[in-house]
Structures are given as C-alpha cells and as structure tokens.
Amino acid sequence: MNRQVIRVGVSPWANLMPHCIRESLETDCFPGFELEVFRTFSMMLNLSLRFVYSSVPGCGYSENDSLIAMLRRREIDITGNLCNLQSLRVQYFQPSQPVLSVPLGFLVNLPEDLHYEFKPLSPFQMSTWYFIILIFASLFLAVMLEKMILDKTRFFDAMQQTAFDFLSYMLQYRVRPNILKWVLIIFIFAFLKSLYSTYIREALMAPYYVQQPFEDQETFLNQLVKKQYRIIDYKQKGEVRVHGLTPSNEKRLQQIINDVGYLYVENTSNLLSVLSKNRNGILAKNSNQLLQYLSSYNESYRFWKLPIRFACNNMCYFWNRDFSLADKINQAIIELNDFILNEETSHLNENVKFVESGRIVRPPVSIERHKTLKNYEFLFMFYGIILAIALSVWLLERLIPRFGAYRLKIMAPPSPVTHVICVSGNELTYNDRDQTVDLTKVDSV
C-alpha cells in the first residue's frame, strides 16, 4: 500500500534534526520536539514525510526562502516548525488545533555578586548619603565655629576638639551635654546604628537575595530603554518579536529596537555563547525553547531562567486552507495532546536536570537592597515622637523654676517701713519713707 507523501518545511534550528527520523521505528537520536510529533502521527496515519529545507530561521513572513513564503507558493504542505500564532498568518493559512500555549521565558546571565560581602553604602541610595553627610558637616561646622568664637580657639585646635567631642559623645565615652545640637547629633548617629544593625542582620543571618530584574512588561521595556538589557535574536531587525506583549507594548518594543538596537546571531546554536559573552544580554523565547537551548549547552549553570509569567506564547503548525489531511492531523494532535506535553517534558528533564535544579538561582523577593528615607518613615515618626517628648520635658524643666520665682515675687508682702537715723556733725536726722525730720529741733520726750 502506497503511503501518501506530505512535504514538511523545516527552517534552520539547532534543536531540529530531521535526519533522526527513519522510516523504521529506530530512535537512535532525538529529532526535536516538533518533528517527534510528526514522526508519531505519520505512523498513526500511515504517511510518508519529505522534508523541504528553508534557509531563513523561524517561520518568517514574506521572505523568498521562509516557511510562510514557501507555504504560500505551495512548495510545502505543512510547516515542520511550530510557528507563533499571529493574525496576519491566520488570514491566509489555517492553524493546527489545538493551539499549544507555552509561557514566555527570559534567560539572562547569572548575577556575579552571589557571595557574602559587606557593602558600606548598601543601606542607602547615594542621594540619601549626600543628605546625611550635609547634616553632619553642618553640625560639625556649627560646633567648631562656636569654639572659635566663644572660646577664642584657633582653627585647627577647634577642629581637633570638635572631632574629639563627636567621637566621645557618639561612642558614649563621655556624657553628652543637654544641648539641642548635641541631642540632634546623637539622634542621627543612633539612627544610623539602627539601620546598620538591620542591614548586617539581613546580610549575615538571612539568605542573600538577588533582586529579580523585572516582573511586568512595562518594567521589562524600561530596562531595554536604559540599556541594562539588550535582546538577543536570530531574526532580522524588522522581524524581532517578543510574543505575548500587548499591541501597544509590541510597537514600543519595535521602536526601542530601532533606537537602541539588538544583538543579532546568525546561527541558533550560538545563542547561549553570545549570551554568555554579553552580561547585559537577554534571550526572550518560550520556556520550552529555552530549556532546549540549555539542554545542549555545557555551561548552562551560568544562566538564570527568570520565573516570570506575564505572557504566553501560542504556537501551532500552519498549512493551506485546502490541505486534504487537515482534519486528520488535527484529530491526531488532539489525541496526542498529552503525549506532546509529556514527550517534551520527559526529554528535557533527562537532559536538563542540573539546569532545572539550579536555574532559579534565588527566589524573587520584594526586599529592596538600597533603602530610601521613605522606607523608614515609621522609624522617623517614632524617633520624632520621642524627640518631641524630650524637648517638652526639657522646656518644662527650664520654664517651671522661672515661673515659680516670678509667681513668688508677685505674691510677696510689701516691704516694711525703714527708719534711718543719720548723724552728721551736730545734726541728727530721721528719714521716713515720706519725709525727713531734723531731730535737733524736736523737743525731747
């Protein structure tokens, strides 16, 4: 019985090996996930496969040698590669059913600073450090000028004494004076100590977390604009896509690629090599493709597959609308639906166990490594309340004694009448509050 021959178009991809498919049941090598499905349902439907090769990676659009162009010219019956489901392709060709939905994946280089180390500037951003240094410099200058003006101290002696006082009061070698500026200095120093205690405890007693680069589409595109990441792809400039983005974000991505550029790779087998040489490179494909790339790369432990799930990649085969075996192949795909998923998962798990166990290097966390003043607004409120209470007590200690003395002065009785007798020569005078009397002229009693 003659088998019906179907022409299967195959585009260059390192993970597709059509030569592994034999007419017999020999499975000496794995042809790739997409072609393994063809081998399975070709045996179910008693079909014979003939491969037609394209020189353009991916499915393409209207290029002369792309799979879509070959399908339009009817040089092939069906695409052997899974293609992204797009409205432009659906207008002219029929997609296979059901559509395979695969989460979008991102592959980046493993962060280099995964070891424990003390970073003095980590608790704050640089703008916060500048603010703290400005406050300390202003207080230091105020204390030094006070010594120079009031104590008549020379410049270098005043600076030395001020530095010694700062060190002594901050480290509690001496009891600080109850002066407002010193209260403020000690308050800032205690605040810094509390922050560093939290930072050291987090660094030494908790796992070292690596902040996830992005979690949504907007942040991802912003990273591309800032050139913190550059897309790596094997397609030409106008065909680079990150499938799963919203239409507005897809247009923005194309604009970013036109402005910033991307890293072009001719051969898909060199994608991970180029990624390893470019620290800011990023590979955006569906998760299964990334795992297949990792399974064939010896140093896959150098990469981090980001656990991001904000988009899915819909994949399918395409054929012309009048393809006679369309219904049979769709029915075979439906029956093989579980097989399709299990076949790929089992094969990848056999080859990527070390990648799967270590690809998520550290879990994504929301802890910010750099702190801002807003992160400690409640701490500021707490210390502010304590400072307000301390100032209130200090004011009461100063005002109550003065108020008491003033109150006693007002309520005191009038002073008694004083009588002073002055003796001057032969004259005796008697001084009363209202009059003076000459005693020599007063009759004796």
Q: What is the pLDDT of residue 445?
A: 42
Structure tokens of 206?
A: 């908790």
**How many whole angstroms separate alpha carbon 156 and alpha carbon 305?**
58
Compare 187 and 82 and report the one with higher pLDDT. 82
Identify the band that residue 366 occupies on the pLDDT scale cut at 50, 70 and 90: very low
Place of tokens 């500021």: 380
Q: What is the pLDDT of residues 191-222, one digit of tens each?
A: 777 776 766 665 555 555 566 778 788 888 88
Provide the 3-class DSSP secondary structure of residue 429: strand
Band (119; pLDDT cuts 50, 70, 90) = low
Long-range (24+ apart) CB contacts under 8 A made by 346-350 are 347/30, 347/33, 348/288, 348/291, 348/292, 348/295
Q: Tokens representing 71?
A: 């399908």
Measured N-to-C along each axis, helices 126-150 and 155-170 cross at an angle, to the nearest 10 degrees, of 120
Task: Count CB-CB contacts under 10 A for residue 122.
Answer: 15
What's the average model confidence in pLDDT over 277-287? 86
Judge contact between 376 and 169, C-beta under 8 A. no
For residue 44, what pLDDT band results from cuts at 50, 70 and 90? Answer: confident
What average pLDDT does this structure show over 169-182? 69
Q: For 97-124, what is the mean pLDDT?
A: 72
Q: How confident is the model at residue 439 (pLDDT cuts 50, 70, 90)?
A: very low
Contact between 72 and 28 under an 8 Å Cβ cutoff? The reply is: no
Helix/strand/coil for 37? helix
Instruction: Please give the residue that has the higher pLDDT: either 318 or 268.
Output: 318
Query: d(Cα 123, Cα 192) in Å, to the nearest integer?
Result: 9
| Closest to 15 in 3D by CA, of 29, 2, 1 | 29
Higher pLDDT, 311 or 314: 314
Q: In whole angstroms, what is the distance from residue 76 CA to residue 78 CA?
A: 6
C-alpha distance from residue 249 to each of 219, 255, 280 (Å): 11, 10, 21
According to the model, what pLDDT value does residue 240 have?
82
Give the C-alpha separation, 312 to 286, whole Å.
8
Residue appearing with tokens 């707490």: 382
CA 361 to chain centroid, in Å, comes to 15
Report the DSSP beta bridge partners of residue 423: 428
Burial of 16 (0-12, 13-18, 19+ CB in 10 A): buried
pLDDT for residue 94 is more than 70: yes
**What pLDDT score was predicted for residue 397?**
81
Of the pLDDT bands very low, low, confident and very high (cuts 50, 70, 90), residue 365 is very low
pLDDT at 416 over 60: no
What mean pLDDT do residues 314-325 have? 88
Average pLDDT over residues 339-368: 45
Bridge partners, residue 231, by sequence: 282
As a whole number, the mean pLDDT across the chain is: 74
In angstroms, rounded to a whole number, what is the distance separating the alpha carbons of residues 370 and 54?
Answer: 50
Q: 200-209, 274-283, 295-304: which has the highest mean pLDDT?
A: 274-283
d(CA 33, CA 15): 8
**What pLDDT does residue 354 have?**
33
Cα atoms found within 13 Å of the Cα of residue 126, Cβ hemisphere only: 0
pLDDT value for 375: 59
pLDDT band with cut points at 50, 70 and 90 for residue 357:
very low
Please give the backbone phi and psi of residue 370, each rounded to the nearest 5 degrees, phi first. -100, 130
Torsion angle of alpha carbons 140, 143, 145, 151, nearest 10°?
-150
The answer on pLDDT for 411 being more than 80 is no
Instruction: Give the residue from 253, 273, 272 showing the smallest Cα distance to 262.
Output: 253
**pLDDT digits 0-9 by tens, 8-42:** 888 877 667 777 776 444 555 777 777 877 887 78
Under the banding of pLDDT at 50, 70 and 90, the label for residue 178 is low
pLDDT beyond 50 at 233: yes
